[in-house]
Amino acid sequence: DIGAIVHTHCPHATAFSVAGLALDQAVLPEQIYTLGAIPLAPYGQPGTHDLYQGMLPYIEKSNAFLLKNHGVVTYGKDLWEAFFSHEALEHAARIQILARQVGKVETLKREQVDALHRARTEAGLDPHWIDCRCDDDD
C-alpha cells in the first residue's frame, strides 16, 4: 500500500531524466538491494492526465521512477520509506554522474546482482523491484 509519495526535481536524478536515461545499470550494491533499477517514465505535461498515464506501468513494479524531462517520484508505506527511497535514488544518480566523469562505469556481474536479489528477498523487503542491467547480460 502507498501511504506517502515524494516528488522532487532533485538535480542529479533529474539530469538523468533530461538525458533520457534510466538508472538501470547494476552499479551500486545498495541501489540494487534497496531500489533495483529506476525506470524512466515517458514525458507527460505536468498537471495533465498524460503525466499520470505515463507513470501507471511503473507503480506496481517499482517504488521509484524518473519522469522524462521533469523529476522523480518515490513512494512507500509511510513518509520515511518514501523519503529514504528518494535519498537513495539521488545518491545513486550523483555517484553515477561522478563515475562517468572519472572514467568508464563498470557494472557488477550478473551472479553478484542475483545474490543481492536473493538477499533482498530473504530479508522480506518490498517486492516492488525491477532487475538492473549488467554488462555481462546477453
All domains of the chain in start order, with CATH: 4-122 (3.40.225.10)
* Global confidence as pTM: 0.91
Could you list the beta-strand ranges (E) of the chain. 4-8, 40-41, 64-67, 71-76
- Whole-number pLDDT of residue 111: 96
| pLDDT at residue 88 in the model | 96
**If you average pLDDT over residues 108-134, what whole number do you get?**
91
Contact 126, 63 (CB under 8 A): yes
pLDDT digits (tens, 9 = 90+) for 52-107: 899 999 998 999 999 999 999 999 999 999 999 999 999 999 999 999 999 999 99
Q: What is the phi/psi pair of residue 32, to 5°? A: -60, -45
Give Cα 87 to chain centroid, integer Å: 11
Q: What pLDDT, in 10s, does the model give residues 12-55? A: 999 999 999 999 999 999 999 999 999 999 999 999 999 989 99
pLDDT for the residue 125: 85
